[in-house]
Amino acid sequence: MDTLEQKISQIDKNRVPVHVAMIMDGNGRWAKKRGLGRSEGHSEGVATVHRVTQFSSDLGIKYLTLYAFSTENWNRPQTEVDTLMYLIGWAIERELPELLRNNVRIHLLGDIERIPEEPRKRLFYARDATAACTGLNLNMCLSYSSRWEITEAARRLASRVAEGSLSPSDIDEKMISDNLTTAGIPDPDLLIRTGGEERISNYLLWQIAYSELYFTDVLWPDFTNEEYADAIIDFQKRERRFGKTSEQVTNTTTTSQI
């Protein structure tokens, strides 16, 4: 087994992904395996968020987008939803000093108005407090789903057409991208899902059109920086062709084309 240092030395620092997205799955199963309640799995998952944020910063990754709570997760038992909301508010407040020290800027993606007031205030506070940070952009997807944001974008554009300020023929891919919660952010280069499921679960459907997908059986609380490094090493071995031929893309960049 290579140590973390050995793995880091295998990463080409000039070709790290610009944008990494993660589906943080497996907290419940991690807890169940240990005879603990699901909320203890979620608490342990916060430590992994801390680790991957630090590691992403250290590697010079510019965007880290984390799926923390989906639109569909509102349908979980109310006690679990309450625990998650409490934990999110508490964790962001606790992490804020270190995020500031590491120059990390927080962005909130999703239907944030649905988040209960107490954690929502803490989230807004952290977002505003880090607004001048210029290092890693940490995008927290909360009450987020891709179909929700695409529906919102369609509604917004349709109302502009209805009022006469936009012509349907002017709608292009860029305009749609610019009306998603990820406006201005390059598409993810690498999407990592922990927890063993090989599905997307309504995450960034538009944005991952050409992302490299990496699935691991490791449950989110067990996801170490060694495993994160493995994902990046694997990513760097892939040839991203964006529909072109292998010959065409040789010697061109392997990160987002935006």
Stretch that binds ligand IPE, among 24-32, 46-54, 89-97, 226-234 (CB under 6 A): 24-32
The verdict on 29 binding ligand IPE (CB under 6 A) reads yes
Q: Which is nearer to ligand IPE, 87 or 176 (CB)?
A: 87
Query: Which residue's beta carbon is nearest to the bound Mg ion?
Result: 25
Using DSSP's 3-state secondary structure scheme, residue 9 falls into helix
First to last CA, the chain: 37
Q: Which residue's CB atom is positioned nearest to ligand IPE?
A: 28
Q: Which of 2, 12, 14, 25 is catalytic?
A: 25
Binding mask 68-97 for ligand IPE (x = CB under 6 A): xxx--x----------x-------------
DSSP result, 171-222: --HHHHHHTSTTTTSPPPSEEEE-SS----TTSSTTTTTTPEEEE--S-GGG
Residues 118 to 177 in contact with ligand IPE, rule: CB under 6 A: none
Local structure of 255: helix, strand or coil:
coil
Q: Measured from the CB atom, is 7 or 193 closer to ligand IPE?
A: 193
Instruction: Indicate if 73 belongs to the active site.
Output: yes
CA-CA-CA-CA torsion sign (118, 124, 127, 132): negative
Rounded Cα–Cα distance for residues 258 and 239 (Å): 17
What's the min distance (Å) between Cβ of 178 and ligand IPE? 25
Gap between the Cα atoms of 121 and 203, Å rounded: 25
Contact with ligand IPE (CB under 6 A) among 17, 89, 188, 195:
195
Interface residues with Mg ion (CB under 5 A)?
Answer: 25
- Report the catalytic residues: 25, 73
